[in-house]
Amino acid sequence: MKPILFIVAPGFEEIELAAPVDILRRLEIPVVTAGLQGRTAEGAHGVPVTADMLMVDVDPEQYDGIVLPGGPASWTLRDTPGVLALVRAFHAAGKLVGAICAAPIALEAAGVLEGRRVTCYPAVKGDLKSAAEVLDTPAATDGNIVTGRGPGAALEFGFALADYLGCAEKTPSLRRDMCVC
């Protein structure tokens, strides 16, 4: 399996990066983090994280999916043409496209939510005009589009990504190992 790419933009929600990356790597699903505006980005709550590489160096052929953590970074993701181009490339290849919190607005801008059932941070629900339905669930999977609701649902979003990537048999024991309550 090729790695899953996580985009790290300034103002990303720290929990929304940490929880899904943690879950996928615990399941030995390869993950690569890519910085949007440099290798190091400060999260929404002041924690600087260093990514594995720069997003400009990403060749989408080398990855099996893309995931966008949310937070204030979501608007930067939405307004960056290079992010939208990458999202479209993964979607056109039928690969996993994931986003959590407000980051589904970048999927909307990329035009990949048409007719999909998704979830998102409540405040941006009205922005996802092309989606068939915006659910209030912690996570939602519709085809290759996996979405999460917000930081408090970041573990559920991570497990939904893992399930989509073929680890559904392993996630119940991982939930126990991680003391999910």
Interface with a copy of itself (CB under 8 A)? 13-15, 17-19, 21-22, 25-26, 31, 33, 40, 43-50, 101, 121-122, 138, 149-153, 155-156, 175, 177-181
Q: CB-hemisphere CA count at 13 Å for 98? A: 33
State the minimum distance, in angstroms, from the CB of residue 26 to a copy of itself. 7
Residue whose CB is less far from a copy of itself, 47 or 132: 47
Contacts with 174 (C-beta within 8 Å, 6 or more apart), sequence order: 23, 26, 27, 159, 162
State the minimum distance, in angstroms, from the CB of residue 81 to a copy of itself. 27
Residue whose CB is less far from a copy of itself, 70 or 91: 70
Distances (CA, A) of 143 to 82, 97, 100, 140, 174: 24, 10, 16, 10, 24
Question: 160 near 142, Cβ under 8 Å?
Answer: no
Active site residue 167: no
Q: How far, in whole angstroms, is CA 128 from its chain's centroid?
A: 16
State the minimum distance, in angstroms, from the CB of residue 30 to a copy of itself. 10
- What is the torsional sign of CA 141, 142, 144, 148? negative
- What is the torsional sign of CA 111, 98, 131, 95? positive
Residue whose CB is less far from a copy of itself, 84 or 161: 161
Residue whose CB is less far from a copy of itself, 46 or 94: 46
- Selected catalytic residue, list 101, 167, 179, 181: 101
State the minimum distance, in angstroms, from the CB of residue 10 to a copy of itself. 14
Residues assigned a catalytic role: 101
